[in-house]
Amino acid sequence: MAKKKSDASRPLGIFDSGIGGLTVASAINKLMPKEHIVYFGDTAHLPYGDKSPESIQKWAIAISDFLMTYNCKVIVIACNSISSVAYDLIKAHVGNKSIIINVIDPVVDFVCDQPKLKSVGVIGTKATIKTDIYAKKIKSKNKKLEVASLATPLLAPMIEEGFFNNKISKTIINDYLSRPKLKGVDSLILGCTHYPLIKPEIEQYYKGKVTLFDTAGIVANHTKEVLNANALLNNGKKTKHHFFVSDYTAAFAESTKLFFKGKVKLEHKNLWK
């Protein structure tokens, strides 16, 4: 794709079903503060984890088309469920108009670069775990690495509702992590962009004995590498971020303010009228 001088000033598009993608957007913003972010949270359809692949693909294509109206130079799929069932479709649909980044491949590459790991656990939504995508991709790079995957469907809705750092969340998290499926793992992939919000509670459970890999920082670093490699890193004037939701919720509004300091204006955009 031929680059123009103005390409670097084009915005970054980021989307997710809800607040989980804000962990990625926040990490990107901290690492690359001059980048202009256009964020879309499909709050009308969350959680994506228990939806059919066909529905997720339909919504993801519509959101990608919307982000492309902002001429986004890169679109980050800040959701494991979408990345696992719609990445190739989105990439083919957008073509050379934008670079598409998913949240799975950078994490897999990072994990496989760690030399001392023997058994990796993966927790995520039903949609992500059903595809077995982490295990398949990890095994393709390192056949000796054992992978144990567990669907944890209550976690994302719990986080969306603000139930974390309390007795309820601790009980649910501990129940999942104590399942036989995860017994003996020496590391754990937080395979949902919501899960960095409960990372402290997961760390409490494992008491430092298990290495945790969360999406946000890994994907932010990968995104910067991609921008640098394509001469797309913005070194010019910082511009205003835009945050869109398909259905306005007070919880999402409050979460946005936590990740992005100051006043954040949420714009309602229904793509399915």
Is 192 labeled as catalytic in the residue annotation? Answer: yes
What are φ and ψ of residue 121, in 5° steps? -95, 150
Pair 21, 14: CB distance under 8 Å: yes
From 84, 71, 89, 66, select the one nearest 1 (Cα to Cα). Answer: 71
Q: Distance between CA atoms of 34 and 271, rounded to whole angstroms?
A: 28
Number of C-alpha atoms within 13 angstroms, CB side, residue 81?
32
164 CB neighbour count, 10 Å cutoff = 20
Q: Distance between CA atoms of 88 and 139, rounded to whole angstroms?
A: 20
User: 122 - beta bridge partners?
Assistant: 149, 189
Pair 90, 61: CB distance under 8 Å: yes
- Among the options 38, 67, 74, 79, which is catalytic? 79
- Among the options 67, 108, 192, 219, which is catalytic? 192
From 5, 1, 46, select the one nearest 235 (Cα to Cα). Answer: 5
Among all residues, which ones are annotated catalytic? 79, 192
